[in-house]
Structure 1
Amino acid sequence: MADDVNTEENAADQMAADLQDAAAEAAGEIEALRAERDDLRDRLMRTLADSENARKRADRDRREAEQYGGSKLARDMLPVYDNLRRALDHATEDQKAVSGPLLEGVELTLRELLNVFTKHGITLIAPKVGETFDPKEHQAMFEAPVPGTKAGAIIEVMGEGFMLHDRLLRPAQVGVSSNPG
């Protein structure tokens, strides 16, 4: 009978050991599943962040393409403006009297071109003599000391510039005073 009790105790001890092993194995599996869950959650969050960044980048690129996509065409149209402006600026009073309607047509064409530019966000940079030189909008073609002016003042305007929204298409070409202060 003592052997039966020992056998039952050994069986109970074995069963308890098996249960502990099973519990330890289950705990290990739970930890492995938690680690896998955390890894998958981390990967999901990174993927969501990447897709959100890609969406924002695509949206920004689309907006820039809408605003600045025509900049090459706009740059190509600037010589047309220059030629029309030159034609009007160089017409003498005699030519205006003889070819008045023709020059009026050139002036109307120039005005319409400026209206189209404005409609598409292109603005004219027309500096005046005496204004301060701004390297963000002007290109200094020469520097000369001119009496009665301050250093950095515009002394001559040789060409107008243009902006497309907030980007410079072409700087205004100017001469700048180099008088020492």
Structure 2
Amino acid sequence: MAERDEDRFLDDIAEAEAEVEASMADDGPEEQDEVETLRAERDALQDKFMRALADAENARKRAAKDRTEAENYGGSKLARDMLPVYDNMKRAVESVTDEQREVAGPMIEGIELTMRELIKVFEKHGIRVIDPQVGDRFDPQQHEAMFEAPLPGTKQGDIIQVSAQGFMLYDRILRPAQVGVSSFQS
């Protein structure tokens, strides 16, 4: 829409300029000075108009970017606060023995279903798990080294233990994965 306004404005200027050129053929030096003054004024106004159009377009783009960021990252505090809930449910499910599963099977199954639903909600809102494995390379962009220890049979910088999974919110780290890293040098 702004391009159409700009094109119409430039067409109007070209028409006016053609009319002035045609009428100037018969004019004297005073009228030509006045025309030059008007042209300078026109050029200044045209420059202001073009700058105003550019500013309006930049403001529109900035507002669209801000709106997208607010939609994607506005709930990051709530998401970060939900991570301990996920951690506790995961620990609860992992700590269940076969004997406990026999006695309280339906309750444990309910906890597992609730945890799966929480993961689905996370995925729906752009939250994904960072799940490093023992033997993976340490990546400071996604992992937080909780300790460093020499472990034979590993290379320096290999993950030797995973303490907690990490989480990403779209392309941003919500929480880095907490890992132990090998400092063994052969």
Task: With the length of structure 2 as denominator, give the TM-score of the two structures.
Answer: 0.82
Using the alignment, how far apart are the partners of 1:93 and 1:178 within structure 2?
Answer: 37
- Out of 39, 58, 72, the residue aligned to residue 53 of structure 1 is 58
- Out of 139, 144, 149, the residue aligned to residue 144 of structure 1 is 149
The aligned residue for residue 116 of structure 1 is 121
- Out of 93, 99, 110, the residue aligned to residue 98 of structure 2 is 93
Using the alignment, how far apart are the partners of 1:155 and 1:138 within structure 2?
Answer: 12
Using the alignment, how far apart are the partners of 1:110 and 1:23 within structure 2?
Answer: 88
Larger-Rg structure: 1
Question: Which structure 2 residue ranges, 5 or more long, are not aligned?
Answer: 1-26
The aligned residue for residue 183 of structure 2 is 178
- Out of 134, 138, 154, the residue aligned to residue 139 of structure 2 is 134
The aligned residue for residue 19 of structure 1 is none
Matched, 1:153 2:158: yes
Q: Deviations over 1:31-67 (max 9, x none)?
A: 1101100000000000000000000111111111122
Q: Deviations over 1:125-161 (max 9, x none)?
A: 1111001111111111011110000011000000001
Quote the RMSD (CA, aligned, Å). Answer: 1.3
- Out of 27, 31, 34, the residue aligned to residue 36 of structure 2 is 31
Using the alignment, how far apart are the partners of 1:100 and 1:132 within structure 2?
Answer: 38
Task: With the length of structure 1 as denominator, give the TM-score of the two structures.
Answer: 0.84
Question: Which structure 1 residue ranges, 5 or more long, are not aligned?
Answer: 1-21
How far residue 179 of structure 1 moved from its aligned partner, in angstroms, is 1.4
- Out of 102, 105, 111, the residue aligned to residue 106 of structure 1 is 111
Which stretch shows the higher mean deviation, 149-158 or 85-94? 85-94
Matched, 1:67 2:72: yes
Secondary structure at the aligned position of 1:152 is classed as coil
